Amino acid sequence: MLNEKSLSVSPDCSECPIRHRAVCARCETDELERLEEIKYYRKFEAGQTVIWSGDRMEFVGSVVSGIATLTQTMEDGRTQMVGLLLPSDFVGRPGRSSAAYDVVATTDLVMCCFRKAPFEEMMLRTPHIAQRLLEMTLDELDAAREWMLVLGRKTAREKIASLLSIIARRDASINQRDVEDRLTFDLPLTREAMADYLGLTLETVSRQVSALRKDGVIELEGKRHVTIPDIGRLLEEAGDDADGGVFA
Amino acid sequence: MLNEKSLSVSPDCSECPIRHRAVCARCETDELERLEEIKYYRKFEAGQTVIWSGDRMEFVGSVVSGIATLTQTMEDGRTQMVGLLLPSDFVGRPGRSSAAYDVVATTDLVMCCFRKAPFEEMMLRTPHIAQRLLEMTLDELDAAREWMLVLGRKTAREKIASLLSIIARRDASINQRDVEDRLTFDLPLTREAMADYLGLTLETVSRQVSALRKDGVIELEGKRHVTIPDIGRLLEEAGDDADGGVFA
DNA sequence: CGGTCGTTTGACTGCGGTCAAAATCCGTGG
DNA sequence: CCACGGATTTTGACCGCAGTCAAACGACCG
């Protein structure tokens, strides 16, 4: 906790890399000015816990850069990841006083935080924020439901393929890369984190990743750098409808 | 589809049984009057499909009475339930033109429908509706994430116990029953529907229900009527924290 | 009475979990 | 530059939980 850093200077909203995708996306200039007054940046290092489940939450905020995970843990230690937080994703629930999940930085992370009470008060007066938050929450709900199908009904191989295609899609969207390009990215998750996301053990993840590599569905350089020669093939392996533009 | 019934008369909102829990919960009298103008009731019989995935959605609405399910299906027929819709739950996504899931009535069902375009237009002008919808969506997101833990990490026995405790909780809350009472309710789902919710086969569901009965965790009269002699015991079996008031 | 639907039960199989060990990666300090 | 130690990943052998296939049972209805 000691190596967490608060930045004294928060960059101007108008230059923010997530300006057009985050909870503030629809705000007008004057609304942004009021947001500037209650915002502050915080940095976390890879591996640090951002919020502990059950803790009192004094802020909500957006991921500016880096990746974090949302996880739930049972008393006996079994854990399930319930969300992957990428830049522009929102953290925290207005109207709730204590955190429901652990939030952990898996890479170095920068967050744009808003003090909770002022943010909630501002939400009531600023429909642009509430509207955008509703839209984002509906998207997250859809993603969670898609993930329920993955967890409940897919095989281990399909689960891995599903995770890779989701990361590939999000990566392409964030980096504005063309989908027709040869997709290539770094896995932001350890095998254990992948297992926690997919409801598998890390051994099974390792075996199935190797199998997909052996079958030519993916290519690996080192343990983490992935290339996808044929995205249609990967989507087929995921059990998704290959055509019909999940990527459109 | 022919036996679907439209009611010519929609009861007054002020007498509505879900008045204080549905998307209209926070509306003032004048706001309710405007909602009355765009609402209509529809009845569905048990087994009927309310909405097909992919269909154009011409309405959104609330469940007034009865129970419906939200399901997703893969090409090869594997299906996963992603939501259980009880009275006051909201159906449909403002801002989206086609349905993402199948909605099926599992009992006779009455819905309070709003034509989609007028409802969306009204949402922009009526913060009370948007606020309540955000709150409900956040609750659904939490429920979906809790379910991800069930699907990803719990054993078949724990899954059954989790489902029973959720139904017991919701049933108690809807019928305003005291939790300390001897909990008793009718299962609104077939074994197959339970299996689709839990990511199991119907045979496994049947076996585990029998096992819980044999072990005295639940009592059965017929196939569907369930009594829970000790809710704490059931929560233990579900792998949840037994104390601490999930039921508080 | 036969037919359908939902459910239970049994026998067997196989996918993914468990336990264990080896291999690889990577940062750190001598 | 290399040796060391810890973390991460891979691989192997074995096992058990839940899936599969099949049959029978009970309730309900025409």
Q: What is the pLDDT of residues B196-237, one digit of tens each?
A: 999 999 999 999 999 999 999 999 998 889 999 999 999 999
- Give the closest nucleotide to B203 (alpha carbon vs C1'): C8
Q: Evaluate whether residue B244 is within a structural domain.
A: no
pLDDT of residue A180: 60
B179 versus B32: which is more confidently predicted?
B32
pLDDT of residue A181: 63
Q: Evaluate whether residue B48 is within a structural domain.
A: yes
| A-chain residue closest to B147, CA distance | A148
* pLDDT above 50: residue A163: yes
All protein residues with a CB under 7 A from any atom of strand C: A 155-157, 199-201, 203-204, 222-223; B 190-192, 202-203, 205-207, 209-210, 223-224
Task: Assign residue A182 the CATH number of its domain.
Answer: 1.10.10.10
Task: Assign residue B104 the CATH number of its domain.
Answer: 2.60.120.10
Q: Best of A122, A126, A136, A148 to disrupt the B interface by mutation (most B CBs within 10 Å)? A: A148
How does pLDDT run across B114-131, given as a tens digit for each residue? 999 999 999 999 999 999
* pLDDT above 80: residue B181: no
- The residue written with tokens 């952990």 in the block is A104
Q: What is the secondary structure of A50-89 as a DSSP string?
A: EE-TTSBP-EEEEEEES-EEEEEE-TTS-EEEEEEE-TT-
Considering the domain architecture, whether residues B204 and B138 belong to the same structural domain is answered as no
Task: For residue A33, give every residue at least 6 positions away whose Cβ sits within 8 Å of its Cβ, in sequence order, or none.
Answer: none
How does pLDDT run across A104-126, given as a tens digit for each residue? 999 999 999 999 999 999 999 99
pLDDT of residue B3: 47
**B198 contacts A82? CB cut-off 8 A:** no
Please say whether the dihedral angle defined by the alpha carbons of residues A33, A35, A40 and A46, taken in this order, is positive or negative.
negative
Considering the domain architecture, whether residues A70 and A123 belong to the same structural domain is answered as yes
Domain range for residue B175? 154-237
Nearest protein residue to nucleotide D19 (CA to C1' distance) is: B201
| B-chain residue closest to A93, CA distance | B138
Considering the domain architecture, whether residues B12 and B33 belong to the same structural domain is answered as yes
- The residue written with tokens 């939400």 in the block is A123
Distance from CA of A100 to the nearest CA of B (A): 8
Q: Which of B74, B153, B199 is the closest to A80 by Cβ?
A: B153
* pLDDT above 80: residue A242: no
B75 touches chain A (CB under 8 A): yes
Considering the domain architecture, whether residues A28 and A131 belong to the same structural domain is answered as yes
How confident is the prediction for chain A on average, in pLDDT?
A: 91
A77 touches chain B (CB under 8 A): no
Domain end residue (candidates: A100, A116, A147): A147
